[in-house]
Amino acid sequence: MIVTKALRLALMAAGTAGGLSGAAYGLLNGQAGHARKVIGPPIAEPLRADGVHLPSGVGPVPRRELPEGVEPLELAVLGDSSAAGLGANFPGELPGVGVARGLAEELGGPVALTTHAIVGATTQELSGQVDAVLRRPPAVVLVIIGANDVTSKLPVSRCAELLGEQVRRLVDEGIPVVVGTCPDLGAIRPIPQPLRSVASRWSLALARAQRRAVETNGGYAVPLADLLSPEFLARPAEFFSPDRFHPSGAGYEAAAEILLPVVCIAVGAWQGGPLPPAPTRSETAEARRPTSRVVAHLNRRLHLHRP
């Protein structure tokens, strides 16, 4: 189901990128079907490791095992399958766990992780997760969402606006929010060309719009596509899980390492050196910029070969 959603995304993006001929649309639709067969459906639900994580890396442990008077910092994780950690083989590989343990080490105290992320969630459905968080407000919220937004049939601008609204709800309650923006779907090798380039173009456009919406509404945006795409493109066998669609444990570890300093900054706990400014667009993404020319060339080629 998740794969189907992501591939439908690319077809819709192609249509809004200037229009495709019927033959071109048919070709892309056929490629989407092939990619769905290659990737296949998820074989299991994501692992869970909610609970208290200690600076030593141990966890989750029951709250009753904490020393009397010690209260853990509360971390909530919201979003889709990437936030839930679908594809990880061990609880310690989950992105929420990686961030929780790193945050505990930085703080020198326990961190309690609660995961509200749902596989297949879109930004339209994020409000329900925010409702759940606000019943017991945490110290900080981490959100990763965007790859499934095509199913909402909403334009990029509206998807980003919806995200901004939920960030504002949390910020207005005094909760710092860190958002990992939409990953680059062009890094998913089972999606063939030119469908992969179209998917990349859409996801990068959404990531840029998300970043503006998050920062405008008082949150912290981390451009995962810009910061992680080179790693995923260079080492796909290591950074993707066996379904070749969701990250592996190594992929999630790389994401957690990027997200952790910003989460620490959000709660005033970062003790490391100054962070370099995050790029607005990576060199890898820039190299794939002429997607519209690829689509135009495809249209021309198919037109020339029509009987």
Tens-digit pLDDT profile for residues 2-15? 444 444 544 444 44
pLDDT tens-digit readout, 231-289: 776 677 677 766 667 787 788 898 999 999 999 999 987 666 665 555 544 444 444 44
Residue 100 CA to its chain's centroid (Å):
17
Neighbours of 298 (CB within 10 A): 21
Res 135 pLDDT > 70: yes
pLDDT of residue 199: 76
Res 194 pLDDT > 80: no
Three-state secondary-structure class, residue 77? strand
| Contact by Cβ (8 Å): 73, 113 | no
Q: pLDDT band for position 68 (50/70/90)? A: confident
pLDDT of residue 25: 44
**Most confident segment among 20-29, 42-51, 75-84:** 75-84
Res 189 pLDDT > 50: yes
Res 191 pLDDT > 50: yes
Angle between helices 195-216 and 224-234 (to 10 degrees): 150
Tokens of 33: 């079907």
pLDDT, average across residues 25-51 = 59
Per the document, the length of the chain is: 307
Catalytic residue among 53, 82, 197, 246: 246
Three-state secondary-structure class, residue 269? coil
**What DSSP designation does 68 have?**
T
Please state, in angstroms and rounded to a whole number, the distance separating the CA atoms of residues 147 and 281.
Answer: 18
Res 303 pLDDT > 60: no
Please state, in angstroms and rounded to a whole number, the distance separating the CA atoms of residues 86 and 63.
Answer: 26
pLDDT, average across residues 72-91 = 94
Res 211 pLDDT > 80: yes
Q: Which residues pair with 51 in a beta bridge?
A: 113
Catalytic residue among 241, 243, 248, 282: 243
Neighbours of 182 (CB within 10 A): 32
Q: Is the dihedral of CA 39, 41, 43, 48 positive or negative?
A: positive
Q: Which of 246 and 35 is assigned the larger pLDDT?
A: 246
Res 97 pLDDT > 80: yes
Neighbours of 224 (CB within 10 A): 24
Share of the chain above pLDDT 90, in %: 45
pLDDT, average across residues 8-29 = 46
Q: Which fold has domain 2-304?
A: Rossmann fold (3.40.50)
pLDDT of residue 203: 85
Res 139 pLDDT > 90: yes
pLDDT of residue 18: 42
Describe the chain by its helix, strand, coil percentages, rounded to 5: 55, 10, 35
For residue 296, with 0-12 CB atoms within 10 Å meaning exposed, 13-18 middle and 19 or more buried, which class applies? middle
pLDDT of residue 272: 61
Please state, in angstroms and rounded to a whole number, the distance separating the CA atoms of residues 190 and 196.
Answer: 9
Q: pLDDT band for position 152 (50/70/90)? A: low
pLDDT of residue 273: 60
Q: Where are the beta strands (DSSP E) in 129-197?
A: 140-144, 177-180
Q: What separation in angstroms does the CA of 130 have from each of 133, 158, 172, 222, 234?
A: 5, 18, 12, 19, 35
pLDDT of residue 120: 86
pLDDT, average across residues 151-163 = 86
Res 104 pLDDT > 90: yes
Catalytic residue among 81, 82, 248, 282: 81
pLDDT, average across residues 38-60 = 79
Does 50 participate in catalysis according to the annotation? no
Q: Domain ranges for the chain, please list them.
A: 2-304
Q: pLDDT band for position 131 (50/70/90)? A: very high
Tokens of 287: 């190299």
Q: What separation in angstroms does the CA of 10 have from each of 184, 197, 203, 211?
A: 12, 9, 9, 21
Does 243 participate in catalysis according to the annotation? yes
Res 299 pLDDT > 70: no
pLDDT of residue 32: 47
